[in-house]
Amino acid sequence: MPEAGADPALVAAWLSARSTARGLPQPVPDHGGLRVDTKAPTEKRRYVFARPCDGLAVLGGTIDEAHVPLKLCASANVLAGLVGPRWVVDDSAAMMMCEAAMPVRDTPGGYGLTIDEDGGVFRCNIRAVSGEHAASGYAVENAGAFVFDRIVTEPAHQRRGLGSAMMAALAARRRSSESRFVLVATVAGRALYESLGWLVVAPYATATLRP
């Protein structure tokens, strides 16, 4: 796994699809990376970089407002070296990709799975027979990438194969066999994706200003 850098085209396709899935503005070029104006109470905007560059270091030295994270496809050490000591850096996430076919997984007994599409966004929902919400996830196909987003299984329903079933059901909506499966995984999710044949492309580090 490389310490620093991912394919800029892949990162751009992923970030664009993520913005579509979340109803956010599309990314725009900024300082050699991409900026998303999220305008949320906990995040005013975010900057995402596929590779280390001088523009990232400039932002690290000039941003002085909270809720503006800097994100880089690299290790924490690489990002920390660019942004300086004013920032706290975390690299508990990873950008992952799968070029193989996703295995078919049946929905476990006692659960029902549905998928809806709205404006190119697929939303998968799994409920128990009791009607209780058990899991959900989103996917968007964009510019040669089929991007999974917010794949979540509720704690009471984990370890029953719901995540695998949801991933398979969403993957079946891919229109082009040339589109690569892409996502950014947390530590908790990485084991699931690796069991399905996914590989880590690069670490995905985040820098936030110290309080």
pLDDT tens-digit series, residues 28-69: 999 999 999 999 999 999 999 999 999 999 999 999 999 999
pLDDT in tens, the chain (211 residues): 455 789 999 999 999 999 999 999 999 999 999 999 999 999 999 999 999 999 999 999 999 999 999 999 999 999 999 999 999 999 899 999 998 888 888 999 999 999 999 999 999 999 999 999 999 999 999 999 999 999 999 999 999 999 999 999 999 999 999 999 999 999 888 988 998 889 999 999 999 999 8
Give pLDDT, residue 99.
86
Cα–Cα distance for residue pair 165/171, rounded to 1 Å: 10
Contacts 24+ apart (CB under 8 A), 6-10: 6/50, 6/51, 6/73, 6/95, 6/201, 6/202, 7/50, 7/201, 8/50, 8/51, 9/143, 9/144, 10/50, 10/97, 10/145, 10/180, 10/182, 10/201
Residues near 49 by beta carbon (within 8 Å), at least 6 away in sequence: 32, 33, 34, 55, 56, 70, 71, 72, 73
Give pLDDT, residue 122.
98
3-state SS class at 67: coil
For residue 203, list its beta bridge partners. 94
Instruction: Output the DSSP codes for 84-133.
Output: -TTEEEEEEEEEEEE-SPPPP-PPPTTEEEEEEEETTEEEEEEEETTS-E
- Token readout for 42 is 């906990």
| Sign of the CA dihedral with 210 first, then 49, 25, and 21 last | negative
Give pLDDT, residue 196.
85
The terminus-to-terminus CA distance of the chain in angstroms comes to: 32
Cβ atoms of residues 202 and 5 within 8 Å: yes
Domain parsing of the chain, residue ranges: 8-94+203-209, 98-199
Residues near 32 by beta carbon (within 8 Å), at least 6 away in sequence: 49, 53, 54, 55, 56
Give pLDDT, residue 3.
58
CATH ID of 98-199, from 1.10.240.10, 3.40.630.30, 3.30.565.10, 3.60.15.10: 3.40.630.30
Cα–Cα distance for residue pair 37/115, rounded to 1 Å: 28
Give pLDDT, residue 1.
45
pTM of this structure: 0.94
Give pLDDT, residue 210.
92
